[in-house]
Amino acid sequence: MSGTFGNPDLDRDRLWTTRSVHPGSSPVRTGFTRWVLGSVAHTLAHESTVHTLILRESEPASLLSRSDATRPLCALVPLDGSALSETALIPAAGLVAALAAPAQRALCLAQVVKLVQATADDEGFVRQINVEALQRAITYLAIAAERLQMTAKELRLAITWSVAQENDVVSALVGLAEHGEKECDLIVISTHGRGGLERLVMGSVAERLLTTTKLPMLIVRPPKQGCKPPVI
């Protein structure tokens, strides 16, 4: 691949690019215009059967002309331990490598662990549950990062990971992407985008991220039924 779109998971024929107006991003485009553009982006994100790259009106060229070329171009990839969430890894790696070439490129894998709320009677027990959940997330992300490093080693990616303990998944992910130790340039997330339980899980996270983050987003569609996802 070496920084091109040769990866079948990011073929040019399977990548739509659209632009969304983020709330507060433009003092000129308001009201009906903002509603129309925003609704188009959301419709594509929901209904498109190919990967969709959502750019922000305030920073349309931010991925192509960054002011700090010495900093690696970095994508945050939210994971939840499911095979669905992991289908975003290879497209994320390919896109970052293509956009950053020949400069440095990086991925930050992230998982949000929801805290179990304790009462006075079970505080010690619940604390232990939260500690164990945090440790499982750390182990999972470390293994996922190692596997991806081996799978995409020719892309020379710097792969890190972060775990956040918070009840609001979207707020935690936005915090990691926009204000975390690793400054991220975009978010890459996988979602079915259509009805059913899957939309209530990963789909709802992707939808809220679209209206919350100021960063560009790549919405990844998983392989069709019967097709095996990339092995990491």
pLDDT, one tens digit per residue, over 140-192 is: 999 999 999 999 989 999 999 999 999 899 999 999 999 988 889 999 998 86
Query: Which of 137, 113, 212, 218 minimizes the C-alpha distance to 170?
Result: 212
Pairwise CA distance, residues 145 & 149, whole Å: 6
- Burial letters for 55-81: b for 16+ Cβ neighbours within 10 Å, e otherwise? bbbeeeebbeeeeeeeebbbbbbbbbe
pTM for the full model? 0.76
User: Under 8 Å CB-to-CB from 16, ≥6 apart: which residues?
Assistant: 44, 48, 50, 51, 52, 53
3-state helix, strand, coil in the chain (%, to 5): 40, 20, 40
- Residue 87 to residues 55, 59, 124, 139, 217: CA-CA distances in angstroms? 21, 27, 37, 19, 15
Angle between the N-to-C axes of helices 204-212 and 169-179, in degrees from 0 to 180, rounded to the nearest 10: 50
SS3 state of residue 93: helix
pLDDT of 117 > 60? The answer is: yes
Residues facing 19 on adjacent strands? 55
Two tokens at 173? 């992910």
**Confidence at residue 221, expressed as pLDDT on a 0 to 100 scale:** 84
pLDDT in tens, 56-97: 766 545 666 665 667 889 999 999 999 989 999 999 999 999
**Confidence at residue 227, expressed as pLDDT on a 0 to 100 scale:** 52
Q: How confident is the model at residue 53 (pLDDT cuts 50, 70, 90)?
A: confident
Pairwise CA distance, residues 76 & 109, whole Å: 6
Q: What is the average pLDDT value for the chain, to the nearest integer?
A: 76
Two tokens at 76? 């945050």
